[in-house]
Amino acid sequence: MASDKQTGRLTVVHGSMFAGKTEKMIAWLRHAEQEGKIVRAFKHSIDVRYDADHLITHTQDRFPAVRISTAEAILDQSAGVECVAIDEGHFFTPSLVQVVETLLQRGVSVMVAGISNDIWGRPFVPMPDLASIADRVEACLSPCRVCGEPAEFTQRMVPVTSRTMVGGVGEYEPRCGQHFTPLSEPPEEL
């Protein structure tokens, strides 16, 4: 298909919690702004940690963000935007992949950050599908809280109350494969 528009580029940053994924995203957004680009950050509406209207790192660095409940809402709120950042991509349904593909076709550069594996040890959908279409994939791994080795998993430290559990320090710990204990199969309904 011939087009006079340049295709955007996709960067996927994934890994364990507390590894600096949101820090990388904020740095990417600020750099794009310094280049004079129009940027917009999005976060899922269930993520109200620290501040509902900003991307916020665990060290409290912040960047304004639009709260949305569906991936499709990104398309409605990104007209004229040149760079789109989507934090906590694992909170979205697989429809995020089609939304990202649409943005790329529009010439928008996109960065999606998210956790690689869920608390059951499974790949966190839709992150693997996004990584498969990305121009660049970067892993951010914190040190395992038990041994210090790179942690590709996130251990749930408190009881499970729902399928999507937003949390932070005290509720999750980064763990390497040797020290990660997957939870038993998730209940059908919580």
Catalytic site residues? 88
Are 43 and 65 in contact by the 8 Å Cβ rule? The answer is: yes
Are 87 and 102 in contact by the 8 Å Cβ rule? The answer is: no
| DSSP 8-state secondary structure symbol assigned to residue 139 | E
Q: How many Å apart are CA 30 and CA 28, to the nearest integer?
A: 6
- For every residue of 24-93, DSSP letters joined together read HHHHHHHHHHHTT--EEEEEETT--SS-TTEEE-TT--EEE-EEESSTHHHHHT-TT-SEEEESSGGGS-
CA angle, residues 124, 131, 141, in degrees to nearest 5: 65
Number of H helices, E strands in the chain: 4, 12
| Conformation bin of residue 28: beta by default, left when phi > 0, alpha when psi is -120 to 50 | alpha
